[in-house]
Amino acid sequence: MSLLNPEDDFVKRSIQSLKTGFVRLSFLGGLRGSSGAYHHWGLERTFGKEAAESAMGQVHTNVWLTLMKSRIQDLEKDSLESLGEIGKNNELPSDPSFVPTNTEGGTRRHYFFLVKTINQLLRHRR
């Protein structure tokens, strides 16, 4: 039996080991099926489907909001560290799955503007 709540367990056992915010968003987006529901076998087995899905959704929102509140310089650094794992053609992907269902006030438009800006900065570095 786990002593952690589902959200803390998910962060400790799955998210913490991922080194950058963009890699975390990629991982979280990959846990969502075409219906938008999150799936993680271990978390669902331990806490039940509903609690696991709720925890994954909240963690996704938290990771996304942390990036959305970051300085461009920090996002550029994060993206440089992420490119080997998630980037193609030395650019961050504009993947809609990176955006959580619950954006808690952030907007998809702002997120994609940040990705576009970072990609322009990365092109300028070359």
Position 51 scores a pLDDT of 97
pTM, 2 dp? 0.92
Position 87 scores a pLDDT of 79
Position 38 scores a pLDDT of 97
Which phi and psi (to 5°) does residue 88 adopt?
Answer: -130, 140
Q: How far apart are CA 77 and CA 81, in angstroms?
A: 6
DSSP symbols for the chain:
--SS-HHHHHIIIIITTS-SHHHHHHHHHHTB-TTS-B--HHHHHHH-HHHHHHHHHHHHHHHHHHHHTS-HHHHHHHHHHHHHHH-BTTB----GGGS-S--TT--HHHHHHHHHHHHHHHHHH-
Position 109 scores a pLDDT of 95
Per-residue pLDDT of the chain (126 residues; tens, 9 = 90+): 557 899 999 999 999 999 999 999 999 999 998 889 999 999 999 999 999 999 999 999 999 999 999 999 999 999 999 988 887 878 899 999 999 999 998 899 999 999 999 999 988 876
Position 78 scores a pLDDT of 93
Position 2 scores a pLDDT of 55
